[in-house]
Structure 1
Amino acid sequence: MKKEEFIQFVAKNIKYHLPSEFKDFKIEVGKHMGLVISEKKSPNTIKIYLDESYEKFMENKNIFPVMETVANNITQGWHTVGKIRDEKRQAIEFVNNYAEVKKHLQFVLRDPDFTEIPMNQIKTELGSYVALYEINMDKNDAEHISIPITDKLTKRWGITADQLYQDTIKVQAAWNQPLLADLLEMGAYLNGGTRPDNLLSADKIDDTGLYVLTNYKLYNGAAMIVHDEMAQKIGNLLQMDYYILPSTVHELLVYPDNGVISITQLQAELFSKVRSGQVRFLFGSTAKMGAGTNVQDRLIALHHLDVPWKPSDIEQQEGRILRQGNQNEKVQIFRYVTEGTFDSYMWQLLENKQKFVGQIMTSKSPVRSCEDVDEAVLSFAEIKALATGNPYIKEKMELDIEVAKLKVLKANHNANRYRLENQIVHDYPLKISNEKVRIQQLQEDLKCYQSYQMKNQDRFEMIIENVTFDDKELAGKAIRTAAKKENRLGESVEIGTYQGFTMFVSYNHISNSYNLKLQNQRSYLIELGENGLGNIIRINNALDNIPKHIARAKQNLQTYESQLEDAKIEVMKEFPKEADLKEKTDRLSELNALLNMDQSNHEIVAEEQIEEQETEEVTNKTQRNEVVPKFGTR
């Protein structure tokens, strides 16, 4: 049976498998080879696709279980669509009925500096914060659903913003009582302890600690500050001014301005909440959140909101998140640059500083000087070019970077040439000469050793302190005894001869051991042990290895001679990107002339205007940074 035939068969016979409630339903084949089920008295329509059902039928060739499955899908689908439509109709009826809606009103506190506030949503300003109005549609404590209240809804209800405020206050007070508790007690409660005392019921608060303002459900508790005279009541209890510090939408931190709690202690409390995940967003300057800010446990993203002045500031900022102890395997770092502003210039200046610091710290570049970038000043032409988005300034900045890179490459090339020239004139000839002398001396030592062995193949003879030994073990012990008798100043002392080599002993203070040196044309060092026969074996091994030293020296000589020839070829090569450097340098000179960057004569009036503008910007910036509202009775 083909798929089309299967679908037609199901559409014709499916009613025999459906409940009786579907006897008057219309069932037909849709455009995409599925079933379309509808009812004349209902606007509901559902579609059932039969791809999977056809595959099951083709597997076992049994149509009955397939038809039962399709019938179950139709029944469940129809009832689900009906339920959704009924709930939607009920929700519309509910929202249109303000008498029911006002039982579910709630405030949600937001900070407009960090949260976009919809233009049409009803709100009440509270210091630096904004209280938004919502309809709380919660079904249970684990599921929080809300509908924002807009000006369109208030018009539909025919109420004013003041009436909405008063109704919300009443509902909030009846639905969820505010709670002011000691921060430490609240922390213990969240970890399974007992509920802390509500300090709002006290006459006054004698302790001057940190407090949490929330509600008994610990949900949307930051909005409790919106309650009538709440700010005044807290001030009366504390009997002093205080700060409200944002934490989350579920609570606020109350910080009494008593001069007792230090900023360090306040920071420690805040950082602890960040590490535990209670505070999810942290804003601050590099100075305030640099070294000592250990909040990395759960950090997932870092945003550079401005361009710092020093490369070390970048390291400090990113060190807050790129840090051992972060539980996330991957993190994100964002940097923001605005076109047509000083951002690009500042980042370029920062890059130049880091390059010079890196050259000094790593010695990877021969550069040994740098302009005082801390006193770099933009000319008026540069300012105008940046402010107007002049394309020439962008080209100039790109060329500055490219020319700087090429100059470093050329400096490295020249430094390499100077190094090769020095190696050609001094290093390689000296190494070659030394290796030739070493080979000659080793060959003479080998000849001496071999000639002595040919004359005395079957006898052992070693002279120690004018005593001739023919027993190897006794001779080895005598060497050790002679070494121990000598002073421990590290000086080498002659004690005898062996196989034509003079023997010297010395004490090694570092390894606390005694050494024997065999001396002829060259020296061979052996560390002495306690075993006499073992010492003789070590001495013979050292002499037997002379041919290996000769082979190694010849290999070194061949390597140095080859390196000398290679150096003579490399030193004649010119810088491969010389033409590219000249072309970019010439273009950069043209751009500097075009932008009038080298002009330094400016009118005094223009300088005064710039200074006035900078003063005004600093004043405005200082005002904008005052974002923490302060409440109190004074």
Structure 2
Amino acid sequence: MDYENFKEQFVEDVKEKLYEQGTEVDITVNTVNKLNESYEAMTVKPEDSNIGVNIGIDKFYGAVEDGTSYEDVVDKAVKVISDGFENRPQIDVASLTDYDQMKDKLVMEVVSAETNKEMLENVPHQNMEDMAVVYRFVLNSDDEGRASILATNQMIENMGVTPEQLHADALENAPRIKPAEIKGMGEVLAEMMGVEQAEMMGLYPVRPEDEQIFVASVPDKVHGAGVLAYQDFMDQAAERAGGDFYILPSSIHEILIVPDNGKMRLSDLENMVKEVNATQVAPADKLTDNVYHYDSQAKIFELGEKFVERQSERGEQDIERDEKESLLDDLKAKKEEVAKAPKKEAVEKAAKSKGGEAI
């Protein structure tokens, strides 16, 4: 059975099975654009509700191709949909168009601009080097999951809100809803494996001055890379890092901060990011393969390669300035020598007073 035939039959059988269980539904098939990915989904809504459940058709088709029986796949889909109906959050649909209510749920996320190029055409955003800051309304978030809506151009237009106002409100609300957390790697490892185990392995505690890597995210560890867009985050990170630092995009959920203390080269950090992204980060969670740098004195956030270029240009300017200063010093010294030397008229007078002749 090819994909198109599977999709048509799958939609019909899922709808019929739900009807047999006493649930009448409306089903549509559409493309769902999510951050870092898009997929064809079956959107299932109870007839008396505007809130439904999306399930990716390709995943169920893949299960059939891997040997799972078609009947079991249909049963699995029906269970996923039924569980989604039962556990869906209670949402006041009318409030979704009321910006005065929704802005208090507004957070920021950072994604790859290149990977999400098509989606960003329909989404308000601000560029941040090769990343993009996007905005999301978090309706519900707990141990059971998260219900949220990505802000779109059409949505905020219906709300009567400009992208500039959206950004300003997000800057104010996001740090309150999802505050930034910056922890030393030793502390993070102690939380993961337990303090006793970390102490036995000599990983914890670590003196602040010896900490070489910090982890930045948010309390629920969901889209924690969004802290990069927070107004005071860079200065907070600079304080922990003791000055300038590199930023390694571990994933869309967290970033790593490495002090720029001369112990790590940019090329080594770039290779590290690329290797981890290729072997340990799911495509849906990938941010970018690049490394970034923050100059705490000049307050400049930029790609690592731009920082290196800027440093190189600064070095050339320093050399040129030193050469100019050296030339000026030479000219000044010669001028002083000339000023100290006897004037021609004075030499002639002295010679004549001794009965001689100036040559």
Q: Who wins on radius of gyration, i.e. which is larger?
A: 1
**Larger % of strand: which?**
2
* TM-score, structure 2 normalization: 0.50
